[in-house]
Amino acid sequence: MKYYPVLLDINMKNCLVVGGGKVGARKAATLAEAGGVVTVVSPDFSNSFYRHPLNSYGNIKKIERSYQTSDLDTMFLVICATNHESTNIKVTADANTKGILCNIADNPESSHFILPAIINRGDLMITVSTSGSSPAFAKKIKNELEQKFGKEYEFFLDLMGLIRKRLLNFSKTKEGMQSELTQKQHAAIFRKLVNSDILNRIAENDESAVYTILKEILNGFPEEIYLNPDSGNIFSFSEDCS
């Protein structure tokens, strides 16, 4: 294994992008989407920078000049996407000195991490990497997976996340039979849920079939675990996802 995969929590963390071209624009947008506080430093910003929908929100700070070492102060990570070799070398050296995570867009060898292609379906994130061998192929696989993993996965995970939280909470707080549920018993329930037909029924917008499956698997538990207490429905996946 050439790389160790992790999911970084960059929410509210300062992230620097060096270079305001097409690549800098894409990297800045992904960082902002993940909640990073993004600054881009570049003597000029290309049209593609302004065209990217996330970059036009204005929540990405732009500094119009060349990179300088102090730009890294307070940064959690830096992505360098310039067309300028000596800047890449300087950013790499500065990041190493300051102990800041660093990605050089055209030099995986001097990067601490590389970026995968991403498919996002709510809490489901599928990432594809070729370990740098062929970004174009990573993108192609991503496009294929995007067809397979539709909107229903997002709703399914919302539902699973909610039931899991409620069930674990219920086991912790309630007296009686359920309070003795072991981690093994939880796991057996969650396995049944993910192996059930719920996902397909969500894709067909068949709420009542989903309800029947949940009732069967969670037999013996109060309905509050899988129903929306306000409406009495399975919490809403009424938006068409087929």
Ligand X SMILES: C[C@@]1(CC(=O)O)c2cc3[nH]c(cc4nc(cc5[nH]c(cc(n2)[C@H]1CCC(=O)O)[C@@](C)(CC(=O)O)[C@@H]5CCC(=O)O)C(CC(=O)O)=C4CCC(=O)O)c(CCC(=O)O)c3CC(=O)O
Ligand Y SMILES: NC(=O)C1=CN([C@@H]2O[C@H](COP(=O)(O)OP(=O)(O)OC[C@H]3O[C@@H](n4cnc5c(N)ncnc54)[C@H](O)[C@@H]3O)[C@@H](O)[C@H]2O)C=CC1
Chain contacts with ligand Y (rule: CB under 6 A): 18-24, 41-44, 46, 66-67, 81-84, 87, 105-106, 135
Please state, in angstroms and rounded to a whole number, the distance separating the CA atoms of residues 216 and 222. 12
Please state, in angstroms and rounded to a whole number, the distance separating the CA atoms of residues 73 and 11. 18
x/- mask, ligand X, residues 32-71, rule CB under 6 A, reads ----------------------------------------
Residue type, 175: E
Shortest Å distance, C-beta 45 to ligand X: 18
In degrees, rounded to 5, the angle at the alpha carbon of residue 20 between the alpha carbons of residues 66 and 141 is 140
Question: E-strand spans in the chain?
Answer: 14-20, 37-45, 61-63, 77-80, 101-104, 117-121, 124-128
When asked if residue 142 is in the footprint of ligand X (CB under 6 A), the reply is: yes
Binding window for ligand X (CB under 6 A); candidates: 34-42, 103-111, 223-231, 233-241: 103-111
Shortest Å distance, C-beta 118 to ligand X: 6
| DSSP three-state, residue 110 | helix
Give me the residue label for tokens 């049209």: 47
**Identity of the residue, 84 or 166, whose beta carbon is nearer to ligand Y in the bound complex:** 84
Closest alpha carbon to 61 in 13, 28, 30, 27: 28
When asked if residue 117 is in the footprint of ligand X (CB under 6 A), the reply is: yes
When asked if residue 108 is in the footprint of ligand X (CB under 6 A), the reply is: yes
Shortest Å distance, C-beta 22 to ligand Y: 4
**Identity of the residue, 62 or 186, whose beta carbon is nearer to ligand Y in the bound complex:** 62
| Residue 134 binds which of ligand Y, ligand X, none (CB < 5-8 A, kind-dependent) | ligand X
- DSSP states of 64-83: -S---GGGGTT-SEEEE--S
| DSSP three-state, residue 39 | strand
Shortest Å distance, C-beta 202 to ligand Y: 34
Binding site for ligand X (CB under 6 A): 26, 30, 103, 105-106, 108, 114-117, 129-132, 134-136, 138-139, 142
